[in-house]
Structure 1
């Protein structure tokens, strides 16, 4: 680090850690200019160097993710690094990423979408293991069947709790008749898939 930041180039009031992070900037002139231009810190409401600000500048993962992209990256890195083979529970992901449970869930959904589009190993969830990457098709099938059962339960409640009473009060309603006919087929298909 001393070769990248000789004493005369170091900035007073900027921590050793920030200088160390900024030392990864290869170009000496760019490195010197960057230390003079501190990013805005929303917590202190002024321009100020923090380790996260320095990490953002050089493209490293921050310790305290703020943006949606940083939060998704934190979940992605954690699940990639630690979800094999034992898995991670939601509370472990929340503690490690400092995200809320709903943010972790959104991050995992995003990872599923990205993984599917890139043909990667699917993320599954089991009560005893939490989220994990499994190479076993039997694990994928078990997870998929559970998801179909969940959808079937929701659909059944929609039909029995909303659509059936609608048809009882208005038996000639074309939309309700169409929805009932279509959903009966979907319900039968989901019942088969969840077996």
Structure 2
């Protein structure tokens, strides 16, 4: 059981003292952020997109970027920091700011486009998913505007975090491989028609690439005398795979169907069986067409049927 009298390595009393001290520091920091944000527009007021300041004859003005860059360097800040604080201040007139909330929360909520909605939102904090208290925190502000949170709580937030971390294909493939080694996860994934068909299509494509690579390895460059023999062997393997698949289906059905005697399936169960029988018929027609014509293309209607849609 957690020791509620301590937080980390300090007592609860010392923790509260630290919180009070840091709140004052955060308020001072927020005040500095607002000061920069309020002074920068004196130098370069916010203008409509594409707007320009009127220039008198013979007068030379710096661009907005040049002016803000000069200000940033003269006060020891990053240009982007000055630019962001200027924009944030423009979204929050001083009378609309809440002194009990950090500048960080204001900066995030500044992304609410509608002004009335923005001003109303900061007065009505949402319920925290962890504590149940109505409070604005940086993560709560991120949730409000649809940004990724630092500490995901809901399943969707955790999913979003995983997607962000797995943007690179190499990382995503490693994570997916690890997840599919968990039987329960693999079972749930295979219940998704799109995922299942994607896996099946990938297996077929990998088999084709492996077969072609073996042919190239055996044949080498050009058209050697063994080429027809290798192609006949490959053709025979494909033929046997197809015959084996048909045989396996017939054998399995022959064992299972007799057990349906005197069984009364529900409407839902019957609908599932009829749907799958339709897919089997469509697949058989596809095989017949491929054997007769040599064409294996799948039209959109058949593709949807095979996917179970």
Query: Normalised by the size of structure 2, how large is the TM-score?
Result: 0.31
Larger RCO (CA within 8 A; separation ≥ 6): 1
Structure number with bigger Rg: 2
Query: Normalised by the size of structure 1, how large is the TM-score?
Result: 0.46
